[in-house]
A and B are shown apart, each in its own frame.
Chain A
Amino acid sequence: MTDVAALDNRPVANSYLATALDDHDDAHGGHRTSLGLSNMKLAMWLFLGSECLLFGALISTYLLSKARFVTEVVAGNPLVTSTMPAELIQEFAESQSVEPMYDIPFTSASSFILLMSSLTMVLAHKATVEDNGQNKIWLSATALLGSIFIAGQVYEFTAFYREGLTYTGNLFGSAFYTLTGFHGAHVTGGILMLLSLVYMAFRGKLRSDRAETVELVGLYWHFVDIVWVLIFTIVYLIP
């Protein structure tokens, strides 16, 4: 190996020591990034990209399963109909769909609540940037609205279950509960993150220097809301 001290003092013309930038920030592990976007934010966007494929596959599965279920039931496949409650067969035969079971006004209300939580999330981020002490209110409100949505989903699942739509009973049940359940689990994860932020905010640890943390949770939260817009349209509104 070459003499370290000598190289340090008189770098060869083309050596990296000779051409290094004198960048103080970099010496400290630095905040310079090639894209000008923080690593965490880039990582969150990538993760959300991956999540798109996850929900894409789940929604495709749901659409296929629903279509197959309807055609098989309407075709009167005895293997399928023998394992279903009689009322459900009736409903399906009449409507060729599952809408009669849905309580559209109820789900619309809970969807509205979830979408409003995106607004409070934006306000929470703004309050954190401005450091005006209101972020605990808006974060709590976001968590609360999310919780109301989850409560609505629990209520809805219970109601459907009582009407005879079970997870194992038929293909539609499996697909419906898996898709909406996956989304519900994502919302629940988001609520846990929000509660951590609320805790930090009340401890006085969520000041404007942490605005990006709020923004990251916000990105995730908005994503989950957008996915719900898709699911609500595809599962509940499209016949």
Chain B
Amino acid sequence: MAIIEEPLALPEGTSTKVERPLGAYTRPRNPAGLVNWLTTVDHKKIGIMYGTAALFFLVIGGVAALLIRIQLAVPDSQFLSADAYNQIFTMHGTVMIFLVVMPVGAAFANYLLPLQVGARDVAFPRINAFSFWIFFFGGLMLNTSWFLGGGADGGWFNYAPNNGIAYSPTPGIDFWNIGLLIVGIGSLTGSVNLITTVLNMRAPGMSMMKVPVFTWMTLVTQFLLLLAIPVLTVAQVLLSTDRLFGANFFNVEQGADPLLWQHLFWIFGHPEVYLMILPAFGIVSEVIPTFARKPIFGYPFMVFSGIAIGFMGFGVWAHHMFVAGIGPLSVTAFTLATMFIAVPTGVKILNWLATLWGGRLTLNTPMLFAIALVTQFTIGGLSGVSHSLAAHDTQQTDTYYIVAHFHYVLFGGAFFGFVAGMYFWWPKAFGYKLNDKIGKVHFWTMVVGFNLTFGPQHILGLQGMPRRMHTYADAQGFNLWNAVSTFGSFILGIGTLMVLFNAAVSYRNWRAAARPDVGPDPWDSRSLEWSIQSPTPEHNFDVDPVVTQLDDFWHRKYQKDENGTLRQVHTGDEIAQPGNGEGVHLPAPSYWPIMLAFSIPILGYGLIFNLWLIVPAVILMLVALYGWALEPADDLDIDDHHDHDHELETV
């Protein structure tokens, strides 16, 4: 025994390195190409993958949107059947919300949160990889429903009892349930991870009131995810047991109350709309001060209004249910709560305007998109807050007015904010700027297309055109504005594609110019991610940045002279960290997050089609879990003196 435990010393002069018999548990070492991306635990690569996956799903959701608009372009259209139309609008909403807007927010959060708080990675890098892969596989699984019996067809909120097996016998809603349950696991693990990162891994000196607004808004977002996702999980588990195993939660014949679904769904669903918009609010709160060359107006108000939105977001859900017969007292209470939640949102808009006011504005593409968010979101916010009046809401519910409203807040708000952020942080992620001329064409195409598409829908809604009807009659008077809306949607589609066009052109120009260095701080901006080289070095920070105040990086560049005037004392390039990562220890890549994530959709297919599939899924899951738990915490070659048995502590 002793010989096995204590190997004899090797003869003098030979290498003392012993091959460790870890077999399958050895972590991948410096993998190249595709394997690098599949096994990475680097928060920056995971952020980029989130963005890329969201772009892929955006194409699916966008094609669905254009199909809807083609169908509605002319009255009595036979382009799509009513059934196909139901599937397409349901999947359009589901894909856009869960697989585009939320993951784009996750992409920015993953890439930027560790950088903005001065950390080398997120708290749990492997869980981070798992969060991405399970979102991606869950999203793919949801979209395989197109080929396996048809997509979900009950609208993105799938009201009971319409979502029951009696009214929707195809497996579409089962895919919707289980696909989103799987995506939800990723959101939940991601939120735990990112909250821990922000709360616990801030740079020395960075108290919570010195954290950039984007990080603050994303923190609130992650709390909303943490507390809202489990409610959706419960709703979907209940519905799944109803549909797959014959339970009775939404079975009206057994005395069930179908309103339960609406309550559960909207207790999740209303925080959901805020968790889609808050990251975009955070993005423009970074973009506007940079290009107005002023600090954000009222930083504490920005922070606390975000927190207030987060809190109140859980108390307004029933304003989605004013027509469901919830009683006058509830209607009054939720009317008031809904009016109140407009206040912190208004505070934010006021603060952006006050930041712009008197600033030296640079109207480049990120700034234009940020201003677009402020204006378009305000329109959507005004049409939204007017719905706190139950009488008004009753008039507009289920008409195109609502469709117009939430596209103004989600497309004109969240999506424009994301595009602003993309233009803003592109040089940080990839080392070159996106072309500003194409960017401006992109901007105007999108803004014009957007307003042409969704502006007329306000009028259609007020005229009484119902949502979710696959066609309308010639004599109803909806022809003109539907034609305009369809025309606009194609401009908008072209505008969205220009993201790809601009990325391709800018990349080619950059390569043709022999990859000029964009410098660490191309916009002369304020937060810590600009104090390191572009593209971000793999180890992020050479040394932990010590932070003494809000916008610390900016204050290191600009200081007041004896006359009290602000002067630039250093350029960003001078004081940026040089990107020398010697001696920095990074977490090693791992095979197991992707393996574990891959096993769970198989389980889902098993639940829908054949319970026997659960067996291989569970075997794969156990293999992956044990691999995860037993693989050494880090690659042995990198750091040999570490304790290798930290497996449980470093999940």
Contact = CB atoms under 8 A, between A and B. Distances in A.
Given A33-B200, A170-B248, A43 B580 contact: no
A46 B569 contact: no
Nearest to A57: B234
B533 interface: yes
A64 B257 contact: yes
A236 B280 CA distance: 47
Contacts of B255: 68-69, 71-73, 77, 79-80, 171
Q: Interface range on chain A: under 10, 10 to 19, 20 to 34, or 35 or more?
A: 35 or more
Interface string B538-582: 000111111000000000110000000000011001111111100
B233 A54 contact: yes
B578 A2 contact: yes
Interface residues of B, number: 71
B544 A21 contact: yes
Interface stretch (B238-246, B406-414, B461-469): B238-246
Interface in B567-601: 569-570, 573-580, 583-585
B593 to A, nearest CB: 16
Interface in B182-210: 188, 191-193, 195-196, 199-202, 204, 206
B235 interface: yes
Contacts of A4: 578-580
Given A61-B260, A212-B649, A174 B575 contact: no
A34 B576 CA distance: 24
A104 interface: no
B130 interface: no
B247 interface: yes
Contacts of A73: 255
Nearest to A51: B230
Contacts of A40: 649, 651
Interface centre among B235, B545, B583, B651 (most CB of A within 10 A): B545
Contact of A16 (B231, B249, B575, B580): B575
Contacts of B228: 53
Nearest to A14: B556
19 contacts: A4-B580, A7-B578, A15-B577, A16-B576, A16-B577, A28-B585, A32-B204, A34-B199, A40-B649, A43-B192, A49-B226, A50-B188, A50-B230, A51-B230, A54-B230, A57-B230, A174-B248, A175-B249, A200-B648
Given A1-B579, A49-B226, A53-B231, 20 more contacts: A2-B576, A14-B556, A15-B556, A16-B576, A26-B544, A34-B206, A35-B200, A39-B123, A39-B124, A39-B200, A39-B201, A46-B226, A54-B233, A54-B234, A57-B234, A57-B264, A68-B256, A77-B255, A170-B248, A174-B249
Interface of A: 1-2, 4, 7-8, 12-17, 19-21, 23, 26-29, 32-35, 37, 39-40, 42-43, 46-47, 49-51, 53-54, 56-58, 61, 64-65, 68-69, 71-73, 77, 79-80, 83, 167-168, 170-171, 173-175, 178, 196, 200, 205, 210, 212-213
Interface of B: 120, 123-124, 188, 191-193, 195-196, 199-202, 204, 206, 226-231, 233-235, 237-238, 241-242, 245-249, 251, 253-257, 260, 264, 267, 517, 531, 533, 541-546, 556-557, 569-570, 573-580, 583-585, 629, 645, 648-649, 651
